[in-house]
Amino acid sequence: MSVAERSAREQRLANASALVDRCRKCEIGSIRTNAVYGEGDACAAVLVVGEGPGETEDAQGRPFIGRAGQLLERMLAAIGLAREDVFIANTVKCRPTFDDGVRLRNRAPSPDEMANCRPYLDEQIEIIRPRAILCLGAPAAKSFLGPKFSISKQRGQWFDGPNGTPVIATFHPAYILRLTGGEVEATKRLVWADLKALRTRLDAPEVSPVAEEPVPEQPGLFGS
Ligand code: URA
């Protein structure tokens, strides 16, 4: 990856993030404290996609920084990836909330909110061109693989995602944190298997049918 290519991608992501900051396509765009565009390496091999920002993320404008984020970092570290090595995004960039009369509470993003936000996620995929997309939880996986996707039955398997990008899903770290008793270890074992499948794919040689960047012309180098 050339320095120029990296900085072009970073610039495109920064521009897109500024657009998301101004986005008011959904009501939650006006309720949120901060949009959470996503963050990480513009040239990451792995794009991690969660469901949507929670309270802490909304307050700070950064994805996965609460307890679920800490577990995500440990999950990534288990396969040799630092948080900075990947790009972390969500299916929606604003915190979906409802008012319970006392305070704003988290809720799942609605289909309309996910559809409104989808172009931003597609653009992130187009800019970053990851080698794999890791979906955390069923909503993220369903957004790529359709409503019939079953996280319990189909996690850990590879699917063709946007532009043929390989997609794999595992359990959401927030879900793991809610488990109790023997379910915790059993689920962590499944997640570990999914993460190993991701590591194996990353370690496989990259098959690239198209050269990444045009080879610059070097007039005269092989001339007479
Ligand atoms: N859960 C998510 O799905 N995304 C975040 O950014 C934080 C928690």
Helices (H) then strands (E): counts for the chain: 9, 8
Mean pLDDT of 50-75: 98
Residue 208 lies in a domain: no
Q: What residues does 105 pair with on adjacent strands?
A: 98
Any ligand 1 atom below 6 A from CB of 52: yes
Residue 219 lies in a domain: no
* Region of poorest pLDDT, from 5-19, 120-134, 169-183, 194-208: 194-208
Instruction: Say which residue the tokens 């040689």 belong to.
Output: 205
The C-alpha angle 151, 152, 157, rounded to 5 degrees, equals: 65
In three-state secondary structure terms, 211 is: coil
% of the chain residues with pLDDT over 90: 91
Residue 87 lies in a domain: yes
Mean pLDDT of 129-147: 98
Give me ligand 1 centre to Cα 220, in Å.
54
pLDDT computed for residue 224 by the predictor: 39
Residue 183 lies in a domain: yes
Residue 31 lies in a domain: yes
Number of domains in the chain: 1
- pLDDT digit string, tens, across residues 10-48: 999 999 999 999 999 999 999 999 999 999 999 999 999
Give me ligand 1 centre to Cα 52, in Å.
5
Give the pLDDT band (50/70/90) at residue 186. Answer: very high
Residue 214 lies in a domain: no
Pocket test for ligand 1, best of 48, 57, 107 (most atoms within 8 A of CB): 57
Give me ligand 1 centre to Cα 48, in Å.
10
Q: What is the pTM of this model?
A: 0.91
Any ligand 1 atom below 6 A from CB of 64: yes
Which residues neighbour 71 within 8 Å (Cβ) at sequence distance 6 or greater? 173, 176, 177
CATH of residue 102: 3.40.470.10
Give me ligand 1 centre to Cα 173, in Å.
9
Any ligand 1 atom below 6 A from CB of 109: no
Residue 217 lies in a domain: no
Residue 218 lies in a domain: no
Residue pair 38/87 in contact (Cβ under 8 Å)? The answer is: yes
Q: What is the extent of the structural domain holding 46?
A: 3-203
Pocket test for ligand 1, best of 37, 64, 114 (most atoms within 8 A of CB): 64
